[in-house]
Amino acid sequence: MANELEMTEEEKIQYIVVKIGSEHYGINISLVDNIVRMQKITRVPKVPNYYPGIINLRGEIVPVMSARVKMGLGEDVITNQSRIIILKLEVQGLVGIVVDAVREVITLGESEIDRTAQNSRKQDTTYINGIGKNGDELISIFDINSIVDEVSVS
């Protein structure tokens, strides 16, 4: 839980706000390597359904996942606004996440994030670890460690 530690130590953290369905989610900007437009995703057989496949990111192969499918919110709807957020994670390497749109970058302090709020949907697993308040808006903060599959370090 390295990013949690960061959050308690640092005063303010910047988040990229993205739209998936009707909700807004925040992704810690320090984990984001890149944001790219939607492009052809090559399907890979025999992987969990929330991986639409892989893309060619300037000569590198990057696996892309669908946060929406993973959270059980249905299939992605690809529009002109769709983007792939490329995360650079220490263990998993580069991973892309498909989002409906990228909204803005906001700065939140720990006091503006409600860590106790429960996800309204009764799900077994939750993929957020807090709800940030940006003015009137509520922004769910992604828990990257639970949204991106763990990989065994062997």
Q: How many CA atoms does the CB half-sphere of 64 hold within 13 Å?
A: 28
Q: Kindly tell me which residue out of 43, 79, 80, 111 binds other proteins, with binding defined by CB under 8 A.
A: 43
Q: Is 46 in the site for other proteins (CB under 8 A)?
A: yes
36 lies in the site for other proteins, by CB under 8 A: no
The three-state secondary structure class of 17 is strand
What is the nearest approach in angstroms of other proteins to the Cβ of residue 141?
21
Number of residues that bind other proteins (CB under 8 A): 26
Q: Which one, 93 or 109, has the nearer CB to other proteins?
A: 93
Minimum distance from residue 31 beta carbon to other proteins (Å): 14
- 61 vs 138, which CB is nearer to other proteins? 61
Burial 50-70 (b: 16+ CB within 10 A, else e): bbbebbebeeeebbbbbbbbb
- Nearest distance from C-beta of residue 40 to other proteins, angstroms: 7
Could you say which residues in the range 61-120 bind other proteins, by CB under 8 A? 61-63, 65, 91-95
Do 39 and 59 form a contact (C-beta atoms < 8 A)? no
d(CA 27, CA 20): 12
Burial class of residue 116 in the structure, from the number of CB atoms within 10 Å of its CB (0-12 exposed, 13-18 middle, 19+ buried): exposed
Q: Which residues bind other proteins (CB under 8 A)?
A: 40, 42-47, 51, 54-56, 59-63, 65, 91-95, 148-149, 151, 154
